A and B are shown apart, each in its own frame.
Chain A
Amino acid sequence: MFSLLGGVFLGWSLGANDAANVFGSAVSSRMLRFWTAAILASGFVLFGAILEGRGGIETYRGLTYMTLRLAVMSSVAAAIAVTIMTLLRLPVSTSQAAVGAILGIGLLNRQLNLAVLGKVVTCWFGTPVGGVVIAVLMYKVLAALYNRLQMNLFQSDMGFRVCLIGAGSYGAYALGANNVANVTAVFVGAGMLTVFSALLIGGLSIGLGIMTFSRRVMETVGRRLVRLDPFSALVVVLAEAVTVHFYTFLGVPVSTSQAVVGAVLGVGIVKGINTISRRTLVNILLGWFLTPVVACFLALAIDFAAHLRYVPSP
């Protein structure tokens, strides 16, 4: 069980950071109590992981050959990469960290499935783009529907709250379904866990991160979304959830944060305003490039350190 710790830590930090993308706006605006959001998010993450997490695990298994030792190295490298990027305050994607670490292991094995890697990297590019496209379409369709309903202030307010809770729960479901592979897929590849136990442990560790450490992140990240009007915030959460769920069908774990950035940009395009500063975009690009590279080098460095032998001087 000790070998699972790297994966559990990765799941914990994923839960702590990424729950903000789905429930941040509702919690930071006090529309929903933190504990209600945390319980809903953890439940739906677990639900999503168990029902639809299998595809991502199969994709990661296809990337390279794994042994238990390599799986532990890979998960520890990804976990350290996520921690370093978080400490540097750069936007971090757990999916990219996990793939970067597996890539490092694949280089060591000299066995890397380039077709699968190509599919994964293409989806990385496609995540923010998907967020933009879905947000633009969704904004137009939902705005037409909303304007037609002619609701009074109380009705529209209650409608927004119900929809934000629904969208957040769906987002949590998509997060669990899509990202659980980042946490425990390497242990399935190494034969240590069955697919079901990997999904269960992965889902539970993400839930643990949400329950124990996501409050502050929800409040700070959420505030950025709440600066948008309630309708735009709802579109962003829904577009992010749909984008991430779409990649779940393709079996590729992607970054929920990048989907959110895409969705916020999409809303900005429809409204004709700048929703994201140039500096934020540069940081995102930097994090996007650095996360897999750092994780890959860390995996190589851990392997190098693991092979060092003490040779007493004669």
Chain B
Amino acid sequence: MLRLLFRKEQQVEELISQYLDNLRLAHENFLNAMNLYFDKGLCEDLDFLIEQTHKVESKADDIRNEIETIMYAKALIPESRGDILGLLEAIDQVPSLFERVLYMIQTQRLLTPDYLVLDIKELIRISIECCDLLIKQVEALFKKSQDIRSLESTIDSNESHCDHIERRIITKVFDSDLDPFQKLQLKEMVLQIGEISDQADRVSRRVYIISVKRRV
């Protein structure tokens, strides 16, 4: 009965679920593209994966626009509308960062020295872990309101770990005898990868606040 009365809300719920699945796909593509880059360098397969990541990012935008349109057609109470739209806008920064890092590698023909690869891979692994935990946290907000606090604190500690790795890599870059221009390029790439966990942490905090706001 409630389902019949709240069709728009049900549509929003389904679209958010689609959006999160799409975000998982973006994580997967980004991880595959970065692994390929470190294993084979710049190649056609990498271009293909970058294109795929772009498509997934565009699809995320389309789903978000659809959710916005339904929301403006007066689904949910105003407070929830604002919270959900703000949350999706913040989450959307994550696939944009994936795209930005990959385009940076592709357009600037970036070369990564072998002694940095392991550290950067670790940074990417933990950043992606933050994003996976974020998806679980968002699902908890929309499906069952448990574990939100514990997921937030795990993401927060992962983000601190990422900051340490980020500083370690940048120190290594500037301690090396690489070309100064390449040093700046690498620093920029590392900062952009580090921004993924920072953004995941910011969004996770937001999810926590949304859940706390609903307690009376």
Contacts and interface: CB of A to CB of B under 8 A. Distances in A.
Contact residue range for chain A? 20 to 34
B9 A30 contact: no
A210 B136 CA distance: 47
Interface stretch (A7-15, A103-111, A119-127, A157-165): A157-165
Interface residues of B, number: 26
B143 A152 contact: yes
Given A150-B146, A152-B145, A153-B141, A230 B77 contact: yes
B161 interface: no
Contact of B9 (A139, A158, A231): A158
A281 to B, nearest CB: 25
A160 B77 contact: yes
A157 B6 CA distance: 10
A243 B2 CA distance: 29
Contacts of A146: 216
B76 interface: yes
Contacts of B55: none
B2 A147 contact: no
Interface string A216-230: 000000000010011
A152 to B, nearest CB: 5
B13 A154 contact: yes
B142 A154 contact: yes
Main secondary structure of the interface of A (DSSP, over half): helix
Contacts of B6: 158, 161
B78 A156 contact: no
A83 interface: no
Contacts of B2: 158, 162
Given A146-B216, A154-B9, A161 B77 contact: yes
Contact of B77 (A31, A143, A147): A31
A144 B20 CA distance: 32
A150 B144 CA distance: 8
A86 interface: no
A3 interface: no
B79 A230 contact: yes
Interface in B1-30: 2, 5-6, 9, 12-13
A275 interface: no
Interface in B64-97: 74, 76-80, 83-84
Contacts of B141: 152-153
A151 B145 contact: yes
A150 B145 contact: yes
A231 B142 contact: no
A157 B80 CA distance: 7
Given A29-B77, A31-B77, A230-B77, A143 B216 contact: yes
B149 to A, nearest CB: 13
The 5 closest A-B pairs by CB, nearest first: A143-B216, A30-B74, A231-B216, A29-B78, A157-B80
Interface of B: 2, 5-6, 9, 12-13, 74, 76-80, 83-84, 141-146, 210-211, 213-216
Given A153-B80, A229-B213, 14 more contacts: A30-B78, A143-B216, A146-B216, A147-B215, A150-B144, A150-B146, A153-B84, A153-B142, A153-B145, A154-B142, A158-B2, A226-B78, A229-B79, A229-B216
